[in-house]
């Protein structure tokens, strides 16, 4: 399914111009909605910062991915998917 989304990696740029590459790890479902869990591996990041969650909105034009800003409601799901995570704040 990840390949069907055309998602091989995502690169985000922070406020300082530092780029971080995230790779898809899993597709998960919560409350009937689908999400892609992305991971980055960088020493300069905390474990919680290494996680990026994208909501998959399936519409007539295809799929739209949007970043989930508040990970707290997904903490249990992310822990099940990725293992132990520090508290998400």
Return the pLDDT at 87.
52
**Order of all β-strands in the sheet with 10-13:** 10-13, 19-30, 33-39, 51-59, 62-67
Return the pLDDT at 32.
92
Distance CA 53, CA 14 (A): 16
Residues whose CB falls within 8 Å of the CB of residue 38, separated by 6 or more in sequence, listed in order = 10, 22, 23, 24, 25, 51, 52, 53, 54
Ranges of each domain in the chain: 3-82
Return the pLDDT at 72.
85
Return the pLDDT at 89.
47
pTM: 0.75
Three-state SS letters, 21-48: EEEEEEEEEECCEEEEEEECCCCCCCCC
Q: Average pLDDT for consecutive 10-residue bins of the chain (89 residues)?
A: 65 86 88 90 76 88 86 84 61
């Amino acid at each position: 399914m990840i390949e069907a989304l055309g998602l091989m990696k995502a690169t985000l740029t922070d406020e300082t111009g530092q780029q971080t590459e995230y790779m898809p790890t899993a597709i998960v479902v919560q409350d009937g909605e689908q999400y892609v869990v992305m991971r980055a591996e960088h020493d300069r990041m905390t474990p919680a910062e290494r996680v990026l969650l994208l909501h998959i909105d399936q519409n007539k034009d295809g799929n739209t991915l949007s970043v989930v800003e508040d990970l707290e409601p997904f903490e249990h799901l992310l822990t099940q998917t990725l293992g132990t995570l520090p508290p998400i704040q």
